[in-house]
Amino acid sequence: MPVLGVPMSIQQGHTTKNNTKLLPTLAVGTALLAGAIILSVALGSVSVKPAVILRAIFSWARLPVEAPDPADYTVIMLIRLPRVMAAVLAGAGLAVAGTIMQGVFRNPLAEPGILGVSAGSSFGALLAIAGGLSTFLTLPAFAFAGAMLAVGLIVGVAVGSGGKSRTVTLIMSGMAISALFSAMTSLTLSLANEYQVSSYIFWTMGGLANRRWAHVGAMIIPVLVTLVVIIYKARDLDILLLGDEEARALGVSPLLTRMLMILLASVCTAAIVAVTGPIGFVGLIIPHIMRMLVGPSHRRLILASAFGGAIFLMLCDLLTRLFAWPTGAEISVGVVTALVGAPYFLFLIFRSARKGTS
Amino acid sequence: MEAELTLNTAPVRMLCEQLGYKVGGQNRLTILDQVSFSAQNGDFIGIVGPNGAGKTTLLRQIGGLLQPTAGTIACNGRLVHQYRARDYARICSYMHQDTVMPFDFPVRDVVLMGRHPYATALAAYSAADYDYAERCMERAGCLQDADKRVTALSGGERQRVMFARILAQDTPLVLLDEPTASLDIRYAHEVFRQIRGLAQAGKLVIAVMHDLRAAARYCNRLFLLYKGELVAQGDPEDVLHEGHISYAFDIAAKTYRNELGHWDFDLVE
């Protein structure tokens, strides 16, 4: 098109620049994650050397290495590593779920618990506490069941009303069902005794203290399945950002795609919240930071968010442990993520208001 | 030199019979009523008519974005809404009036989305896809914006990007909803020339046209819609008859040939 006068230099400048490659993100992410894990396991009330950590892991795997001191082995393999791995899975899962929700709702301020997971899991957890059924595995089971009930009701109402995949219908039924669950939570709280109320409040602050391998096992499948399926379906999520009709015209069924993604993100979030309690802001800020680093294309963004969320939550949890060790005061990791996250969230609100977008 | 595109001109035959579309509850509002037509490769059909006549609704029916409430619309002997979305996306592309993305995608990535119906799920877009997208951007006049963020573009620049995406999808049936609404006269002429070229190469193009002069000049067939009914169809100058214009638009117009021999009109006070 000579009339448009496109210089040849521009045409040749970038012919096949492929910015959906996963390998660099995977390599950098794995290296940083491994470093952060070693650091997190090494530091605490008792420091252990990185070499000892590797020896503990190798001897657990029955590789022929000199076994570490049994006390070190216990600290590493039964106390710190399960807690660190719980932080890795929870951080990765929340960040991935947040990225999915922001994409599905075409809204940069969406967060993982947006569709009833937060309200539903709180009610479930409170029922377990108030019913005297709260053990280290029944509480997560109740919280998970509550979250799934809320998500099921919201999706059921949205589909049943004929609004189908419309995001407005989903958000509105989400608000209504969440309000219903919050009301039931308040009602139960007003009937509960003081000890039950304070254990519930402690649960709502979110934490990773005393998490065991069983907790890691409860999260690993939902988080990994979500991660793999979404990376596989990442381009559909990109295309959904164009709008429902545009997506349909490009061969992506908006209804099916949105429902699949919402269900995956919600199950993943519910499994995490059940184990850790609600941990705010990881699912909101990590996707934004990663979008600045690797761009908005979801194939890379999802992977980067998984690494970013894992490292961020693990380091926040490390801060709580380092703070607890000299002071004896156990602060919840949710407090740290919110202290870092809330100011950033406000910054986003101001910025999007200034740009006139949201 | 104009970038070469190898165009998919597989046979398409649209057959629309007694198509109707109503919305609302008891007092149903009729948007389309008893629309029938057929169309095949090589046509550039313009849909014209006053505001609210059902132009975009008809286009969305053809694109499978709405299901008719009466009558049928079929592509190659099969009802449009019975196709799987992905299969129909290889036959038919659809350009909306405006498409706004919430995140900062580079223009190149948005154009590449046009290749989505052909890409396998896990593999990245191929080098051939990148190359094709590049040539589409050149054709649409947005290659200079290839690495800009789509959120930073003006309405007109964004519309050229979306046109490049339609070119990249390379379907034998192309549906366009006011494809030049935000473009200045130079780009509007260039894009219409491109669109006419697509039809002459053997695609079927159907576009909602708000500019009657452009409809007369570039299309080889027009549909005139009025209150949901297809009141006239055929050669542009027959459809844009003075009587039709005053009936559909409720305004007196005088049509004539201008100095360059193009169809033109003026309104009678």
Look at A239 and B86 and tell me if their CB atoms are within 8 Å: no
Look at B96 and A245 and tell me if their CB atoms are within 8 Å: yes
Which of the residue ranges A62-76, A186-200, A313-327 has the most confident prediction, judged by mean pLDDT?
A: A186-200
- Please check whether residue A193 touches B, CB under 8 A: no
> Phi-psi bin for B82: left (phi > 0), alpha (psi -120 to 50), beta?
alpha
Which pairing describes strands B92-95 and B78-79: parallel, antiparallel, or unpaired? unpaired
**Nearest CA-CA distance, residue B30 and chain A, Å:** 20
Look at B125 and A10 and tell me if their CB atoms are within 8 Å: no
Least confident of A43-57, A116-130, A298-312, B173-187: A43-57
**What residue has token string 């308040």?**
A186
Average pLDDT over residues A68-96: 91
pLDDT given at position B109? 92
Q: Using 50, 70 and 90 to split pLDDT, how confident is the model at A326?
A: confident
> In angstroms, how far apart are the furthest CA atoms of chain A?
80
Inter-chain Cβ pairs, chain A and chain B, closer than 8 A: 115
Answer yes or no: are the C-beta atoms of B142 and B157 closer than 8 Å. yes
- pLDDT over 70 (residue A356): no
**Rounded Cα–Cα distance for residues B244 and A321 (Å):** 80
Average pLDDT over residues B56-69: 94
- pLDDT over 80 (residue A15): no
Look at A108 and B102 and tell me if their CB atoms are within 8 Å: yes
- pLDDT over 50 (residue A16): no
- pLDDT over 70 (residue A8): no
Look at B103 and A296 and tell me if their CB atoms are within 8 Å: yes
- pLDDT over 90 (residue A168): no
Look at A248 and B85 and tell me if their CB atoms are within 8 Å: yes
Q: What percentage of residues in chain B have a pLDDT greater than 90?
A: 78
Residue of B nearest to A240 (CA): B101
**Rounded Cα–Cα distance for residues A274 and A67 (Å):** 35
Of A18, A21, A251, the CB nearest to B117: A251
**Nearest CA-CA distance, residue A101 and chain B, Å:** 13
Q: All domains of chain A, ordered by start, with CATH?
A: 47-355 (1.10.3470.10)
Average pLDDT over residues B140-150: 91
Interval A175-221: pLDDT, tens: 899 999 999 999 999 998 888 899 898 888 888 888 889 889 989 99
Q: What does residue A260 show for φ and ψ, rounded to 5 degrees?
A: -60, -45
Q: Using 50, 70 and 90 to split pLDDT, how confident is the model at A172?
A: confident
- Please check whether residue A235 touches B, CB under 8 A: yes
Average pLDDT of chain A? 85
Interval A87-134: pLDDT, tens: 999 999 999 999 999 999 888 888 888 888 989 999 999 999 988 877
**Nearest CA-CA distance, residue A150 and chain B, Å:** 28
Look at A295 and B104 and tell me if their CB atoms are within 8 Å: yes
Interval B90-137: pLDDT, tens: 999 999 988 888 888 999 999 999 999 998 766 678 888 999 999 999
Chain B residue numbers touching A241 (CB-CB < 8 A): 101-103, 105
Answer yes or no: are the C-beta atoms of B35 and B72 closer than 8 Å. no
HEC sequence for B93-137: EEECCCCCCCCCCEHHHHHHHHHHHHCCCCCCCCHHHHHHHHHHH
Q: What is the DSSP string of A158-206?
A: HHHTT-TT-HHHHHHHHHHHHHHHHHHHHHHHHHS-HHHHHHHHHHHT-
**Nearest CA-CA distance, residue A130 and chain B, Å:** 43
Interval B164-182: pLDDT, tens: 999 999 999 999 999 999 9
Residues within 8 A of A (CB atoms), B 86-125 only: 86-90, 92-94, 96, 99-106, 108-110, 113-114, 116-117, 119, 121-122, 124-125
Residue of B nearest to A256 (CA): B85
Average pLDDT over residues B192-218: 95
Dihedral, B99, B101, B105, B107 alpha carbons, nearest 10: 10
pTM: 0.86
Average pLDDT over residues A257-269: 92
Residue of A nearest to B123 (CA): A232
Quick check: helix, strand or coil at residue A134?
A: coil
Residue of B nearest to A297 (CA): B105
Average pLDDT over residues A66-89: 89
| Long-range contacts, B221-224 (Cβ 8 Å, 24+) | B221/B39, B221/B43, B221/B44, B221/B45, B221/B46, B222/B45, B222/B46, B222/B47, B222/B48, B223/B37, B223/B45, B223/B46, B223/B47, B223/B48, B223/B49, B223/B58, B224/B48, B224/B49, B224/B248
pLDDT given at position A358? 38
Look at A108 and B138 and tell me if their CB atoms are within 8 Å: no
Residue of A nearest to B141 (CA): A4
- This model of the complex carries an ipTM of 0.88
